[in-house]
Structure 1
Amino acid sequence: MPSSFTLLPFMLPALAGAAELQVGDTAPALSLNDQHGKPRTMLSARRFLLFSADKDGSNLADEVLEGQTGETLERAGLCYVADISGMPAMVTKMFAMPKLRKRPYPVLLGRTPEDTITLPRQAGQVTLMELNSGSVAAIEFLDDALSARARLGLSA
């Protein structure tokens, strides 16, 4: 009999009771803590939402955002959200959080599956959602840091 852990990915949509966002949907108004424990809200006035849902996606997001600051992300209208809900607590505490706290820009953290369940995802990629007038205008799954930086208008 499969363990509940192996069934969890299939149960997540039922747990959240919400469907994955699609183009045309209302942009999410996420209220999450950042890597410093500061409450932050991802406002629909943002132009882009960058999302990583796994370790490979997180590493890619690190490449995309390398050299950026909170100010450059603000100017680009970009909010970065990372789902860390699947990470073991000890790994989160000992390794991930110290690394995240060194980031010079805010990272909104999804600590439970429900926090980011509506955000579209593909394994090993980052999700880039373009927002316009409070709606999701486009959803892209990117696996290349240079093209993602260009798409976001970020300097090297």
Structure 2
Amino acid sequence: MKFFAVLFLSLLPLWAQAIEVGEPVAPWTLLDQFDQAYTLDGQAKILLVARSMDAAKRVDVALQGQPKGYLEARHAVFVADIQRMPRLVAKLFAVPAMQAYNYRVMLDRDARIAPRYSAPVDNVLWLQLDNGKLVARHEYDSVTQLRQALEQVQP
């Protein structure tokens, strides 16, 4: 009997559906690169999700040269999935390097949040939100396209 319970619980994530346009986005809380908590709420208009180092680098390059508070002014939140990064590397090198960024990075250290939003791993996923509901989704594999999309958003 225990075997079937364990089997059922291990297969449960396979039945989970990706969030669809029109559905509410479940709130979550993550720590940023300064270990400051952030909770997703109805104020967020854009959720940028990077599930790989390449995708996170695209976001970084797209934001280079922008003033501090650029994402916040656009009600945008950036989530980086760093669960594949060895913890020691993250602690000693990656997270300290992120502290030099002039924007916040919500760090999904255990892949609790980013997998909820399906997209190709190397693309930056852009989720457009309205009062906590998903209204549109886009994927960017180009820094130029991502930068242009961010510039279109009025602060």
Q: Give TM class, smaller chain.
A: 0.7 to 0.9
Q: After TM superposition, where is structure 1 displaced by more than 6 Å over at least 4 residues in a row?
A: none
Greater C-alpha Rg: 2
SS of 1:130's equivalent in the other structure is strand
Question: 1-side partners of 2:80 and 2:104: how far apart?
Answer: 10
Q: Runs of 5+ in structure 2 lacking a partner?
A: 1-9
Q: How has the CA–CA distance of structure 1 residues 74 and 13 changed in structure 2, closer, same or farther, with 3 Å as cutoff? A: farther
The TM-score, its normalising length taken from structure 2, stands at 0.82
Q: Does 1:26 align with 2:46?
A: no
Letter in 1 for 2:98: L
Give how far 1:13 is off: 7.0
SS of residue in 1 equivalent to 2:112: helix
1:93-146 per-residue CA deviation (whole Å, 9 max, x = no partner) reads 222111111111111110112232212221211000111232101111101112
Q: How does 1:2-17 map to 2 (within 5 A)?
A: 14=13
Name 2:125's counterpart in structure 1: 127
1:87 and 1:12 map into 2 onto residues whose CA distance is: 25
Tell me what 1:8 maps to.
none
Question: Cα offset for 1:44?
Answer: 2.5
Separation in structure 2 between the aligned mates of residue 132 and residue 49 of structure 1, nearest angstrom? 11
CA deviation after TM superposition for structure 1 residue 69, in Å: 4.2
Could you tell me how far apart the structure 2 residues matched to 1:12 and 1:122 are?
Answer: 22
| Contiguous gaps of at least 5 residues in structure 1 | 1-10
* TM-superposed deviation, 1:12: 9.1
How big is the shift at 1:54?
0.5
Give the letter aligned to residue 148 of structure 1. L
Q: Could you report, residue by residue, the CA deviation over 1:70-106 in whole angstroms, capped at 9, with x for unpaired residues?
A: 4221211111111111111122122211111111111
How far is 1:46 from its partner? 1.4
Matched residue type, 1:116: A
Report if the CA contact (8 A) 1:40-1:108 is conserved.
Answer: yes
* Equivalences for residues 1-156 of structure 1 within 5 A: 14=13, 18-153=16-151
**CA RMSD in angstroms, aligned pairs only:** 2.3
